[in-house]
């Protein structure tokens, strides 16, 4: 079942406002459990985690910044 445009917009807003800060806090906590590695390893871990969080939500975010394709055209 495909999500409607309005549902995808609302879900993406919820993910960005609630899910992303929670994910950041969990990532910081997990990394803090280990001894601090070199700056480059730590940077690579954070970049990897930064990319990893968005992969499951690619379908939700796709096309959200575009005009609603289901709305009536303004050209008429």
For the whole prediction, is pTM greater than 0.85? no
Q: Is residue 23 pLDDT above 80, yes or no?
A: yes
Sign of the torsion formed by the C-alpha atoms of 13, 15, 18 and 22: negative
Q: Are 70 and 5 in contact (CB under 8 A)?
A: yes
- Report pLDDT for 17: 94
Q: What's the 3-state SS for 56-67?
A: HHHHHHCCCCCC
Q: What is the pLDDT of residue 74?
A: 65
Is pLDDT at 14 greater than 90 in this prediction?
A: yes
Please check the confidence at residue 45 and state whether its pLDDT lies above 80: yes
């Amino acid at each position: 079942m495909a999500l409607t445009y309005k549902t995808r917009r609302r879900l993406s807003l919820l993910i960005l406002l609630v899910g992303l800060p929670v994910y950041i806090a969990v990532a910081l906590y997990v990394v803090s459990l280990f001894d601090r590695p070199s700056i480059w390893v730590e940077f690579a871990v954070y970049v990897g985690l930064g990319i990893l969080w968005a992969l499951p939500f690619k379908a939700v975010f796709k096309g959200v910044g575009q005009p609603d394709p289901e709305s009536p055209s303004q050209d008429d």
